[in-house]
Amino acid sequence: GIAELVVTGGGAKSGATTKWLGYLRILRLFRLARVAKIVVLLLTKDLLWARSQRFQSFIMGVIAFNCILLGLEVEFKNNPLWPILENVLLVIYTFELLVRLRCDGCSFFYNKRELFWNYLDLIIVVGAILDQWIRPAALAIATSAGASSTDTLSHTGEIMRIMRLMRLIRILRLVKLIKGIKPLYTLAVGIGKSMQGMGWVMGLSASFLYLVSLLAVKLAGGQHPLFISEHADQNGNMVTPEKFQELISCFGNLPDTIYNLFKVMNADTSGVDNLVFYEPWVKWTVMCFTIISNWAIFSILTAVVSENMAKVTEDHEKELEAEQAEITRKEVRSKLNKMFDNLDVDQSDTLNEDEFMAVWADELTEREFQELTGWTRENASELFEALSEQEDRPLKIRSVTRAAFIEGLDMGGDHLTMRSIMRLEKRLAELDTQLRRRLGKRFEKQSSQIGLVSPSQISLRSLRSADYDCRKGFSYDSHQL
C-alpha cells in the first residue's frame, strides 16, 4: 500500500510505471489474509466467554438498538448514516453466529432445545449478507464489466426483488429480543401453549354465535320475520314498510347477523340499537345473549389462559433450575478433576491413602472440598474406604481412581435414579467377579451353602450369615460387598 502511494504520488505516466503499478495493485489480494487470520483465531482460541451472561447481554443490547434503528429508517429515509450502522451491526451478527457455530459444532443444526432460534439466526444473518454485501458486490462487478445498472437490474430483476424482500427478515430480530427478556419470553410461551385450550373456547364461541345468528335470521330477519311485525314505534308513529325493512336489516342475512352479534359480544350494540328500541323483547334477548357470550364465555377464556400461564411459568422455572443445576454440576466436576490433578503427586492417575488424606492437610483445599462435596475431616477414613479399590499388585495397595473420585463425590447430591441403580449393580458385579477369581472353588462352595445367586440379590441377613460362616474358612470382605 505504501509503495503504491509513492508510485502514484510521483505523477509518473510511463508504460513501465503503469505496469509496476498494476502488479502492486494485485498485491491488494493479500489483504484477504486478514480474514484467514480471523478464521484461525475462531478455530484455535477458547471461546467459552461467548456463553457468558455479559456477552449475551451485549448481543441483546445490539438487537434492541437495531430494532430502534429499523423504526428510525422508516421515519427518516435517505440518511447516509443508516448504511454504515447496518454494516457494523451485520459484522457483529456475523461474528456472533460464527462464534456460536464454533462453540456448538454440529449440534447447532440439530439441538432440539435451540433448533428454532439457531435456524432463525442463520436465516437472518444469511439474508442480511445477501442483501447488504453480495447484492451490491454483484452490481459493482456487473457495472465494471461494462453493463449499465439499468441493464443489470432488468436482467436480474426477479432476483433483486427477492433479495430486497430479505430485508423484511431483519424484523424477526424482534422475536429474538423477546427470547432475551425472560418475563416477556415466559409470557409469549404461555400464550403459545394456551392456544390449544383457547381453541376449544373459540370453537364454543363460534358455535354459539353461529347458532344464535341462525335463530336471529329465522325469527327476526329476512323478508317475513316470525316474531317481529309492523306496528307503531315508541313515539306512537306507524313505520313504513321501507323503514321496517331498515330496522330488521341488521338480521337480514347470515354474514351481517354474525357480524352484528359479534359486536354485541364485545359490548357494542350499535348494529342492533334501532331494532332494540323498536321491539321491546329484543332488548331482553340482547341482554341475555351478552351475559352468556361476554360474561360467561370470556370468563372461561380468561381462566384457561390464566391456568396455562401459571403452568407454563412453573415449568419454565423448573427448566431454569434444571439448567442451573446442570451448570453447577459441571463446575463441581471440573473443580474435582482439577483437585485430583493437584493431589496426584506421582501422576499415576490414582490416589493412595496418603495422597487422598492430603485434602485435609491444607485449609483452603479442605474448605473447597467441603463446599463441593459436603464431606468433613471426620468422614475422611470412611470416604476413602468407600471410594478406594484394591490394586492388582503384589503390595495390594488400596487407591482411588479418577473416575471413582469424581463420580463418587459428585453423586452426593444425586437423587435415586435408574442410572445410579445400574451403577451400583455394575459395582456389585465387579466385586462378585473379583471375589470369585480370588477364592475360586471355596467361594462357589460357600455361596451354594447360603444360596447366593448374584450380589444384587444379597439381603442384609444373608450378608451377616455369610460373614459369620466365611470367617471360619477364609477371609471374606463383607464390608466391601
DSSP code string of 31-92: GGHHHHHHHHHHHHS--GGGGSHHHHHHHHHHHHHHHHHHHHHHHSTT-THHHHHHHHHHHH
Handedness of CA 349, 353, 359, 362 (dihedral sign): negative
Whether this prediction's pTM lies above 0.75 is answered by: no
CA gap 326, 89 in Å, rounded: 33
- Over the Cα atoms of the chain, what is R_g? 40
Question: Nearest CA to 408 among 333, 331, 341, 346?
Answer: 333
Q: Are the CB atoms for 169 and 123 separated by under 8 Å?
A: yes
Provide the β-strand partners of residue 401: 350
Q: Give the separation between CA 21 and CA 14, rounded to whole angstroms.
A: 11
Which region, left, alpha or beta, applies to residue 396 given φ > 0 means left and ψ of -120 to 50 means alpha? Answer: left
CA–CA separation, 161 and 163 (whole Å) = 5
For 375, the 3-state DSSP assignment is coil
Region of 319 (left: φ > 0; alpha: ψ -120 to 50; beta: rest) is alpha
CB atoms within 10 A of CB 121: 19
pLDDT in tens, the chain (481 residues): 565 555 555 554 455 555 555 555 556 656 656 666 666 666 667 777 777 878 888 888 888 888 888 888 888 888 889 989 989 998 998 988 888 888 888 888 888 878 888 888 888 888 888 878 887 887 777 777 766 555 555 555 556 566 556 666 666 767 777 777 777 877 777 777 777 778 888 888 999 999 999 999 988 887 778 888 888 877 778 888 888 888 888 888 899 999 999 999 988 888 888 888 888 888 899 999 999 988 888 888 888 888 877 887 788 788 878 888 888 888 888 888 888 888 888 888 888 888 888 888 888 888 888 888 878 888 777 788 778 877 665 666 788 888 888 887 775 445 555 555 655 666 677 777 777 776 765 656 665 655 544 444 444 344 444 444 444 343 334 334 3
Phi and psi at residue 295, to the nearest 5°? -75, -50
CA torsion sign, 21 to 23 to 26 to 31? negative
Q: Which residue, among 113, 110, 108, 95, has the nearest Cα to 55 in the 3D structure?
A: 95
CB 122 within 8 A of CB 173: no
CA distance 187 to 312: 9
Whether residue 61 contacts residue 67, with contact meaning beta carbons closer than 8 Å, is answered with no
Burial class from Cβ neighbours inside 10 Å (0-12, 13-18, 19+) for residue 390 reads middle
- C-alpha distances (whole Å) from 291 to each of 20, 178, 254, 284, 307 are 90, 37, 22, 11, 23
At position 193, the amino acid (one-letter code) is K
